[in-house]
Amino acid sequence: MQKITRKNPEFMPKPVGNYSHITRVPKGAGLFVTSGQIGTDMDGNVPSNLNDQITNTFANMKKVLESEGLIEENVIKVNIWATEEIDWDYLDSLWEELFGTTYPSMTVAYITALGLPELKVEIELWCAEV
């Protein structure tokens, strides 16, 4: 049975965070791409604090995965955009709760603005189902 595999080649520098350098998706896998998930709550409110937005963003990520019957092992790539410095201790605690040690590939970028002025973080998921 084919499966999604992750690796960090020994001849490369180790990742600087909880991610994999390479995530390989077998031929024929179903591909799912989410819109960027943001820190809104169920009523559409956006907290002013970045960590509160991160909490809501992770809740929304879990919901979007569940809506398609996907789990953390299906996540192959994560893109994170933030408008201010991320509290990595806080984000990593939620990251480890969601992914354990099944680290997808990841890109992080600090940018000047997102789609709405109150947004401080947006996280996009790429997923595959074998």
92-106 pLDDT, tens digit per residue, is 999 999 999 889 999
Beta strands 105-110 and 75-82 are: parallel
Architecture of domain 5-129 in this structure: 2-Layer Sandwich (3.30)
**8 A C-beta contact, residue 130 and residue 4:** yes
Q: What is the mean pLDDT of residues 20-43?
A: 95
pLDDT score, position 101: 86
- CA-nearest of 101, 82, 70 to 7 is 101
Residue 25 pLDDT level (bands cut at 50, 70, 90): very high
Q: Is the pTM of this model over 0.85?
A: yes
Whole-angstrom CA distances from 79 to 43, 61, 94 are 25, 12, 16
Tell me the pLDDT of the chain averaged across its residues.
Answer: 95
pLDDT score, position 1: 72
